[in-house]
Amino acid sequence: MYEGLDLNVTWFVLIGVLLTGYAILDGFDLGVGSLHLLIKNDLDRRIALNSIGPFWDGNEVWLVTGGGALFAAFPHVYATFTSGFYLAVMLILMVIIFRAVAIEFRSKVESATWRKAWDIAFSISSIMIGLLFGIALGNVIIGIPVAADKEAYMTFFDLLNPYAILVGITTVALFMMHGAIFLVMKTEGDLQKLVRGWVNNAIIFFVICYVTTTMATLIYVPQMASILKSHPEYFLIAIFNMLAIANIPREIFHGREFRAFLSSSFSILALLALFAIGIFPNLLSSTISPEYSLNIYNAASSRTTLEVMFTMALIGIPFVLSYTISIYWIFRGKVKLDNTSY
Amino acid sequence: MDVEFLSRLQFAFTIGFHYIYPPMSIGLGVMLIIMEGMYLRTGNKMYEEMTKFWVRIFALIFGIGVATGIVMEFEFGTNWATYSRFVGDVFGSALAAEGIFAFFLESGFLAILVFGWNKVSSKMHFFSTIMVTLGAHLSAVWIVVAGSWMHTPAGHRIVGEGTEARAEIVDFWAMVFNPSSVERLSHTIGGAWLAGAFLVLSVSAYFYIKNRHIETAKAGIKISLIVAFVASLFQLFTGHSSAVQVYEYQPAKLAAFEGHYETAPGDLYLFGWVDEEKQETYGVKIPGMLSYMLFFDSEKPVTGLNEFPKDERPPVNIIFQTYHLMVAIGMFFIGFTTLGLFLWWRGVLFKQKWFMILAVFSILLPHIGNQIGWMSAEIGRQPWIVYGLLKTKDALSKTVSANDVLISLIMFGLIYSLLFVLFIFLLNKKIHHGPDDYRLISAQDDSVSMKEVQ
């Protein structure tokens, strides 16, 4: 089946699509969560929470499916990454649990203290998820100590290097910008006015982080830039990315929030595309020796599995897209609270 | 304490906790379809409020199920990296299928189920209820397929040798329909239906005893009794076919179920104790009944544990006890639901306070049954993680230390304890709130925005 198709490359791209879908979709609800404590009154907090109410759970499915696909298509990468980053992965999982619980439980008890406690849990866990994923991404960019036995022997504190932390903060900034734009789209009146003010600040915060990260990458991770030297056309992605970001305040100014949201979504897509181009064909590059790096061939499942999964993807993707689009369509427009709200 | 012990403890704890919730979602989903279906058929608003009440509880259960489920997916890699490398080709595709075919379906339509009452038509809402429930069942399908493959591997070949060995798919459908998939899936789903039906039965009986929401309580008791009766008979058949299948493919496990050491005609214990040192089993038994149940011939010998080397036998007594308790609970379900239906038929069901009190407490039984049934199945696979192919002790992550696991285990212990307390607190709160009174609700406009009110 699928003669002439390099399924290893295809699955590299498909997992990229799933994780990009995750970053764009969960990105905005994590961003809304990260900004949550800046909203002062309870009713507005409820509106903000309900803006992501019908979506956040489905958005997480992109991560779950991405994880499953990584396990199936590149089991060595899945095994090396999750066991090598053991405590970091455990921390992410617990923060994800905490956040889900905070969203579910916040409005279930009529008590100001109860709500305040869950508001803080919700906001901090939202920031932590962005930060931790960013740190993980930063470590993948600079490489991890994958040994000859495909295992990465390292400690939790090895992950906390300055470059990775920088990528982590950049990710939080990106999600805040993305989430603020989403909130502008879903709110009206005074709350919208307040959030509109945050968008520009978030853009500035993000651009500063982004420029710093780019410079740090050029200095500390020259291999990421080498592909750009041999294929200058990829620079276009970076340029389009900056144009998309610059477009956001313009669209917000004209009240075209959805277009602003598309721009920030495009920006996430462009950043992850640059990341993917930079690491390809490796998935985890080894800092011990390049030959120990896990790439799309030496870490992959058998051709049969890649074929079976590709068939599943061809069958499943139209369904997934149709549910996703329908849900966003059904719950379009400004948030109205009712008796089914959080 | 070593890494193996801690990792097994962590896996058992995290999956045991997780496994409280998905069976309830699956079973409650079926109950929701019936309730909402009754509403659409009869137009009786009582059923609508009943459905809304149970949807609120469903959302709570579902939320915790999802949150704790994400842990499971990644724990294969964090603690069992060597296992993940070995089975990724086979097992991973089932997990990925669960994501793409079940989770997207569930989570998408869940939004409509919970938040969509005023956004879509009642038919579309009913359709969403069906889709969420279908998604929950499909999720069980893929995860049970993956688990069954670990018991009865099929459709694969082993490539590489020693530490490099790994399983690769040769025939995808042979992997999916491996010899134990169908029996295991049907028995698991039956257990889930029981968990859902007894939840509704228990809460409805509680309302009835407390003389609250009487109309809803009576309807809930009737619906759940029927579902529980059908499900408990279903469990009798699927349980039997599971046992026959286990004997065929994992005879050491079946022998452990009955503490059967010598290859001889097998007896069926009602209850008992296995002395693993002396290799003796004591208790009340029906001679030859095991052989009869497996072969319809009480004289035919059943392979005993002595046929297996000691290091390839599962721990016997714990499996014996969990298995027998599960069977006893199953028998109770059949008796209890039959009695309930009989009383209903005689028109005296709602006069039996003792029956209602029993019904309130019966909520614990499906959960105990699911947990210990699962334990007897999974511990019965030991010392293998993939039966006959990979031992549990060889499946661990090489880079993870006992301290790492201890830290995460303590964190899980704390978070899950908190989560459980909060779950019970909120469940209790929702139950005390009860369904809204439809006679009052219809006078209000649901869709009034809070913003406008204030």
Q: What is the ipTM of this complex?
A: 0.89
**Is the pLDDT reported for residue B450 higher than 50?**
no
- How far apart are alpha carbons B265 and B263 in whole angstroms? 7
Which of A67, A97, A323 faces B73 most closely, judged by CB atoms? A67
- Mean confidence (pLDDT) of chain A: 90
Contact B82 A79 (CB under 8 A): yes
Q: Does A44 touch chain B (CB under 8 A)?
A: no
Which pLDDT does position B420 carry in this prediction? 93
Which pLDDT does position B451 carry in this prediction? 36
User: What's the pLDDT tens digit per position in B208-250?
Assistant: 998 888 889 999 999 999 999 999 999 999 999 999 999 989 9
Which pLDDT does position B299 carry in this prediction? 84
Which residues of chain A from 133 to 192 reach within 8 Å of chain B, CB to CB?
149-154
If DSSP codes are grouped into helix, strand and coil, which group holds residue B267?
Answer: coil
Give the pLDDT mean for B60-83. 91
pLDDT means per 10 residues, chain A with 342 residues, are 87 94 94 93 89 89 91 94 93 92 85 90 95 94 90 88 94 95 91 90 92 90 82 87 90 89 94 90 89 91 91 91 90 82 76
Sequence-distant (6+) residues with CB within 8 A of B69 are A64, B18, B22
Q: Does A336 touch chain B (CB under 8 A)?
A: yes
Cis omega before residue B383 (within 30°)? yes
With vertex at residue A237, the alpha carbon angle to CA A234 and CA A238, rounded to the nearest 5 degrees, is 100
Contact A308 B93 (CB under 8 A): yes
Which of B67, B85, B166 faces A100 most closely, judged by CB atoms? B67
Sequence-distant (6+) residues with CB within 8 A of B123 are B40
- In this structure, the strands spanning A294-295 and A282-284 are antiparallel
Which pLDDT does position A4 carry in this prediction? 82
Percentage of residues of chain B with pLDDT beyond 90: 63
Q: Does B84 touch chain A (CB under 8 A)?
A: yes
User: What's the sign of the alpha-carbon dihedral B305, B306, B308, B313?
Assistant: positive
If DSSP codes are grouped into helix, strand and coil, which group holds residue B279?
Answer: coil
Q: Does A107 touch chain B (CB under 8 A)?
A: no
Confidence of residue B454 (pLDDT cuts 50, 70, 90): very low
Contact B404 A87 (CB under 8 A): yes
Contact B399 A154 (CB under 8 A): yes
Confidence of residue B448 (pLDDT cuts 50, 70, 90): very low
Q: Which residue has the tokens 């019936």?
A: B34
**Is the pLDDT reported for residue B446 higher than 50?**
no
Residues of A in contact with B92 (CB under 8 A): 68-69, 71-73, 75, 78, 301, 305
Cis omega before residue B314 (within 30°)? no
* Secondary structure E strands in chain A: 282-284, 294-295
Sequence-distant (6+) residues with CB within 8 A of B179 are B152, B154, B245, B248, B249
Residues of A in contact with B120 (CB under 8 A): 330
**Is the pLDDT reported for residue B445 higher than 50?**
no
User: What's the pLDDT tens digit per position in A39-55?
Assistant: 988 888 989 999 998 89
**Is the pLDDT reported for residue B176 higher than 70?**
yes
Residue of A nearest to B60 (CA): A104
Which of A152, A302, A331 faces B89 most closely, judged by CB atoms? A302
Give the pLDDT mean for B5-26. 95
* Tokens found for residue B84: 């993940």
Confidence of residue B286 (pLDDT cuts 50, 70, 90): confident
Which pLDDT does position B440 carry in this prediction? 67
Contact B170 A304 (CB under 8 A): yes
Between B440 and B275, where is the model more confident? B275
Which pLDDT does position B271 carry in this prediction? 87
Cβ-Cβ pairs closer than 8 A, A with B, add up to: 251
- How far apart are alpha carbons A244 and A246 in whole angstroms? 5
Q: Are B19 and B72 in contact (CB under 8 A)?
A: no
User: What's the pLDDT tens digit per position in A150-175?
Assistant: 999 888 888 899 999 999 999 999 99
- How far apart are alpha carbons B186 and B235 in whole angstroms? 8
Q: Does B16 touch chain A (CB under 8 A)?
A: no
Kindly write down the DSSP assignment for every residue of B133-195, as one continuous string.
HHHHHHHHHHHHHHHHHHHS--SEEEES-GGG-EEEES-HHHHHT-TTHHHHHHHHHHHHHHH
Q: What is this structure's pTM?
A: 0.91
